[in-house]
Amino acid sequence: MKTPISPEALKALQALDTCTVANAIETFNLRLRNEGYADSSIRCLTGCDAPLVGHAVTARIRCSSPPITGGTFVDRTDWWDHILTIPGPRIVVIEDVDEKPGTGAFIGEVHAAILQALGCVAAVTNGSVRDLPAISGSGFRLFANHVSVSHAYVHVVEFGTPVKIGGLEVKPGDLLHADVHGVLSVPHDIAAAIPQAAAEIIERERRVLELCKAGNVTVDKLRDAVHGVFN
C-alpha cells in the first residue's frame, strides 16, 4: 500500500483547478502530455463549481440484461466493504462494460446518498446517472457520459480491479483530481510537490496576463513574457 497523502497536501491540491494541476504534472516529465486524463466524453453533470480530490474505488457493471445469478445491485452490497478499504476521500469509478454503455443508471439519488455516507465525494462513469436535481443539492459530484431515466438491469460484475473510463485507466487507490474541465489522474509520488510547481506556473502566467491588460503591448514584449510558460 502506498504511503497515504497528507490532509494538507490533499487540501492544497483541491485549491487548484484541474487545468493547472495538469500543467504542473507536465513539468515532472513522468508521462506523455496526452495521457493521464479522461477524454471529453466524461462530463461534469452536478456540482461543477469547485475542484475535488479523492482516491479511486473501482467497479464494473452491466445494465442491459439481468445478472446470471442474483438480482440487481441491492443484492451485491459486498463491494461497500471494499469501499472502506480505500483511503478517504473517495471517488467511485464505475465502468459500464455493456456493448452499449448507458442503458441504465447505476447512480441515482439513493445510491449517491449511500456512497456519500461511506465517505465518497463523487462518482465517475462511462455509463449513465440519474436524479440530477436531487443529487446536485446533496453536494455529491457526478461525472458521466450519459443520463438515463431508468436503472434497467444494473448490477455489479466485479470491483477492486482496474477500469477504463473515457480512455483513462484507473486502479484502486489512484489519486484523482476533477472539476468542470474533467477528470485527471495525479501520480502519487509527486502529489505533494504539485502545489509548488503549480504556484510557479501561476506566477509566470500572471505576468503574461498583466502585460496583456496593461496596454501598449508589443510582440517583442509578449515573446519575452511567454518564454518558458508554454514550453
- Domain spans in the chain, listed from the N-terminal domain onward: 31-186, 195-226
Burial bucket for residue 180 (CB in 10 Å: 0-12, 13-18, 19+): middle
**Residue 14 has what pLDDT?**
96
**pLDDT score for 69:** 60
Tell me what pLDDT residue 226 has.
Answer: 79
Task: Give residue 230's pLDDT.
Answer: 60
Domain 31-186 fold:
Glucose Oxidase; domain 1 (3.50.30)
Q: pLDDT (tens digit, 9 = 90+) per residue, 155-166?
A: 999 999 999 999
Which residue ranges in the chain fall short of pLDDT 50? none
pLDDT in tens, 104-129: 999 999 999 999 999 999 999 999 99
